[in-house]
C-alpha cells in the first residue's frame, strides 16, 4: 500500500511538472501568423470594454477636421511636422488604449494602401462583430455583395422605389435605408448595413458595381456615407439599437449628380452582412476582387509586417495627404496621443503648421474604477498627458448617511472629480448610494486645467458593509518586534540559533612575555608574540566546505533512518523498499 501511495505521489509530481511545462505560453514567433477571423486572438479575448472606451473617447472628441489636401501633417502643439517616432508612439498609445498591446501583430491592422482602413476602424469592426455575433448573411454565401438601388433588376420586393433609394424587404423585411427624401435613415440593430457606392477607381470608401455602372464619381455618396459613419459612431457610443441619423441629400440626387451622373438603377449600394460590416470596417480595398478576397486587415493595403518603420512612414504619409474621413479619423485618433492638448474643432488648422494649441484638446475624465484611490486615478489622468495640478480634498463623510455605501469606502478612495466648472460625483450626497458615471463625462478643457479630486479622509474608519468589496481588517498578529507569550519562544529560538551563525575568524593569539630578572640579571626571553592562524584561511575554508557537505548528507541520512524509519542496506533501491514496507 505504501508503495502505491509513494508511486501515486511521484506520478502526481511528475504530471504536475509536465502540465506546468505544457501550460507555459509558447514564445511568439518572430513573424506573426496571418490573422483571420477564426484565429484572431482579439476575437477570442475580452476587449469589448476597452474598445468601447476607445470609441467613447473618439466619439466624444471634437469633429474630425479635414486639413487642406496639400497639407503636411503637423503636430498642432509644437507646429512641427509629425515625426515617425511620434506616429509610432501614437499608434502604440492607441493600441494600448484599446487593450490590444499584447497582440502586437494587430499593428498590421492599420491598412494603408487601400482606403481609409484604420486600426480604429478595425477595432470598431471587432467591436461590432462581438456585438452582432457575425451572423445573418442574407445571401447565404458572400458576406458582401452589391445591390442596385431601386433598379428593378429582379430583386422583387427588395427595392420598392426608383426615386427614393428605399431598400426594404431584405432578409425578412428588414429595411436598410428609409426614405432618403425624409432625410431620415433608420439605423437598425438587427438588420444589415449600408455602405455607399461610388467609384471603382477611387480609393474612397464608396463603391459602385463596376460591371454595371458606367461611371462613378468620387463624392457621390459622401454625404450619405458620412452620415452613416457618424450614426454608426453614435450607435457604438450608446451601445444602443435603432439609431437614426439624418442626411440632407437624397440618394437619388446623389446618384444622378456629380461630375459623372448616372441613373439610379446603375448606382449600387454595397450591402454587407454583419460579417461584411466587420470586414468593411477592417479595410477598404481598392477593388472589388480585393474586397472579396481579403480575409483580414493585413491582406489589404500596404502594410508590411516585417517593417514597422516603413509602416509608420506610410501612416504619416497617409495622414499628411489624405482627405478621406476614415483616414482622418484614424489620424485624429493617433494624433490624439501625439498632441492631446490640441482641439481641432476650435484650434488652428494643423495642416498649416501654425497650430499653437491655444485651444486645447479636451480630456475626458476617465470613469473611476471600483474602489480606486485618488492616487491611482491621478496616474490615469497623467497617462492621458494631462499636465494640470491636482488638489486632493478630504470629503466630509458626515454628509453621507450612516450605513450608506459611501461611508463603507476605504480611506483614500476617490469620491468625486471636478474642475472649476464641472463635477462628477460617485456617491449621492444625500443618500450615500453610488451614482452611475455620466454618459458624457466632465471635460478637462485644457491640458493644464486644475482638477480637484475628493477622497475619503485618511482618518476615516470605514463602516462595515459591502462597500469596496471584501475588506481585510487589520489584525495584530504576533511578531518578534513586540514578542508576546507564548509566540516569543519561537523568536528566542531564532535568536539563539542566530548566535551560532557567525563569520569564521582565524584565532589570533597576541601576547607579550616580559623579560625575566634572576639574581639581578635580566634575561631577554622575548617581548611580543603574535600567532595568527589566518595564514590557513584558504585551507580551512575548503575544509569547512567539505565538512558542510558531509554534515548535510549525514543530516539527511539521519532524517531518513532515525526519524522517518528508512532502513538502508545493500542496494539503495532495496533500502527504499524496506523503508516503505510496513
Which residues contact another protein (rule: CB under 8 A)? 1-2, 4-5, 464-466, 469-478, 482-485, 488-489, 491-492, 495-497, 499-507, 533, 540, 544, 547-548, 551-552, 554-556, 558-559, 563-564, 580, 582
183-to-188, 250, 261, 325, 492 alpha-carbon distances in Å: 16, 7, 21, 21, 86
Residue with cell 495640478: 389
Backbone φ and ψ of 406, nearest 5°: -65, -40
Following DSSP, what letter does each residue of 52-63 receive, concatenated? Answer: HHHHHHHHHSPP
Q: At what angle do helices 572-580 and 2-23 cross, to 10 degrees?
A: 110
Following DSSP, what letter does each residue of 96-118 receive, concatenated? Answer: HHHT-TT-GGGGGG---SSSS--
Beta strands 268-272 and 363-364 are unpaired
CA distance 518 to 524: 11
CA distance 262 to 337: 42
CA distance 104 to 116: 21
410-to-4, 434, 480, 494 alpha-carbon distances in Å: 52, 15, 29, 37
Cell numbers placing 537:
584561511
Cell numbers placing 283:
479595410
Following DSSP, what letter does each residue of 329-366 receive, concatenated? Answer: HHHHHHHHHH-TT--TTTS--GGGT----SSPPPEEPP
Are 468 and 413 spatial neighbours (Cβ–Cβ below 8 Å)?
yes
The H or E element spanning position 126 is helix 119-132
Q: How far apart are the first and last CA of the chain?
A: 9
List the beta bridge partners of residue 159. 167
For residue 13, give every residue at least 6 positions away whose Cβ sits within 8 Å of its Cβ, in sequence order, or none.
none
Query: CA angle 510-513-515, nearest 5°?
Result: 155
Are 278 and 121 spatial neighbours (Cβ–Cβ below 8 Å)?
no
CA distance 368 to 231: 28
CA distance 118 to 131: 20
- Classify the phi-psi angles of 183: left when phi > 0, otherwise alpha if psi is within -120 to 50, otherwise beta: left
List the beta bridge partners of residue 425. 416
CA distance 254 to 267: 9
Are 117 and 300 spatial neighbours (Cβ–Cβ below 8 Å)?
yes
CA distance 378 to 356: 26
Side-chain-side CA neighbours of 508 within 13 Å: the count stands at: 8
Amino acid at each position: 500500500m505504501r508503495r502505491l501511495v509513494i508511486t501515486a505521489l511521484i506520478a502526481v509530481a511528475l504530471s504536475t511538472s509536465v502540465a506546468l511545462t505544457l501550460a507555459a505560453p509558447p514564445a511568439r514567433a518572430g513573424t506573426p501568423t496571418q490573422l483571420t477571423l477564426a484565429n484572431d486572438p482579439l476575437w477570442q479575448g475580452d476587449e469589448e470594454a476597452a474598445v468601447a472606451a476607445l470609441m467613447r473617447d473618439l466619439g466624444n472628441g471634437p469633429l474630425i477636421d479635414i486639413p487642406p489636401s496639400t497639407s503636411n501633417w503637423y503636430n498642432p502643439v509644437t507646429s512641427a511636422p509629425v515625426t515617425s517616432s511620434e506616429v509610432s508612439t501614437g499608434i502604440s498609445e492607441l493600441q494600448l488604449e484599446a487593450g490590444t498591446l499584447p497582440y502586437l501583430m494587430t499593428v498590421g491592422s492599420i491598412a494603408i494602401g487601400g482606403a481609409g482602413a484604420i486600426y480604429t476602424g478595425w477595432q470598431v469592426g471587432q467591436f461590432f462583430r462581438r456585438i452582432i455575433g457575425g451572423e445573418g448573411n442574407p445571401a447565404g454565401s458572400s458576406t458582401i455583395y452589391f445591390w442596385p438601388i431601386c433598379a428593378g433588376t429582379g430583386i422583387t420586393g427588395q427595392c420598392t422605389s426608383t426615386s427614393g433609394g428605399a431598400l426594404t424587404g431584405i432578409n425578412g423585411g428588414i429595411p436598410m435605408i428609409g426614405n432618403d427624401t425624409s432625410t431620415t435613415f433608420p439605423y437598425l440593430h438587427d438588420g444589415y448595413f449600408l455602405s455607399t457606392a461610388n467609384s471603382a477607381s477611387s480609393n474612397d470608401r464608396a463603391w459602385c458595381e463596376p460591371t454595371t455602372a458606367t461611371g462613378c464619381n468620387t463624392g457621390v455618396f459622401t454625404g450619405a456615407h458620412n452620415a452613416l459613419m457618424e450614426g454608426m459612431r453614435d450607435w457604438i457610443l450608446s451601445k444602443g439599437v435603432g439609431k437614426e441619423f439624418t442626411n440632407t441629400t437624397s440618394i437619388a440626387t446623389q446618384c444622378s449628380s456629380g461630375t459623372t451622373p448616372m441613373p439610379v438603377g446603375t448606382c449600387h449600394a454595397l450591402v454587407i452582412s454583419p460579417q461584411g460590416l466587420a470586414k468593411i470596417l477592417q479595410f477598404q480595398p481598392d477593388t472589388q476582387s480585393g474586397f472579396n478576397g481579403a480575409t483580414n486587415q493585413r491582406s489589404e493595403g500596404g502594410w508590411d509586417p516585417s517593417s514597422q518603420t516603413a509602416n509608420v512612414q506610410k501612416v504619416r504619409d497617409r495622414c499628411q495627404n489624405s482627405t478621406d474621413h476614415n483616414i482622418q479619423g484614424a489620424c485624429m485618433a493617433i494624433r490624439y496621443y501625439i498632441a492631446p492638448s490640441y482641439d481641432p474643432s476650435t484650434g488652428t488648422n494643423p495642416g498649416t503648421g501654425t497650430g499653437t494649441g491655444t485651444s486645447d484638446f479636451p480630456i475626458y475624465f476617465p470613469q473611476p474604477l471600483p474602489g480606486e484611490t485618488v492616487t491611482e486615478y491621478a496616474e490615469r489622468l497623467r497617462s492621458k498627458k494631462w499636465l494640470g495640478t491636482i488638489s486632493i480634498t478630504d470629503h466630509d463623510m458626515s454628509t453621507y448617511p450612516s450605513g450608506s455605501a459611501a461611508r463603507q469606502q476605504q480611506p483614500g478612495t476617490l469620491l468625486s472629480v471636478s474642475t472649476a466648472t464641472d463635477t462628477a460625483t460617485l456617491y449621492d450626497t444625500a443618500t450615500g448610494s453610488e451614482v452611475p458615471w455620466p454618459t458624457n463625462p466632465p471635460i478637462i478643457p485644457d491640458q493644464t486645467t486644475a482638477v480637484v479630486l475628493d477622497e475619503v479622509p485618511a482618518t476615516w474608519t470605514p463602516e462595515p458593509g459591502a462597500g469596496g468589496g471584501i475588506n481585510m481588517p487589520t489584525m495584530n498578529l504576533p511578531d518578534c518586534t513586540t514578542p508576546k507569550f507564548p509566540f516569543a519562544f519561537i523568536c528566542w529560538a531564532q535568536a539563539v540559533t542566530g548566535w551560532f551563525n557567525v563569520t569564521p575568524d582565524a584565532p589570533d593569539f597576541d601576547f607579550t612575555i616580559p623579560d625575566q630578572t634572576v639574581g639581578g640579571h635580566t634575561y631577554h626571553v622575548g617581548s611580543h608574540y603574535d600567532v595568527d592562524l589566518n595564514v590557513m584561511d584558504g585551507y580551512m575554508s575548503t575544509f569547512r566546505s567539505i565538512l558542510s557537505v558531509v554534515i548535510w548528507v549525514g543530516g539527511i541520512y539521519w532524517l531518513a533512518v532515525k526519524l522517518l524509519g528508512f532502513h538502508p542496506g545493500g542496494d539503495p533501491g532495496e533500502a527504499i523498499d524496506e523503508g516503505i514496507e510496513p
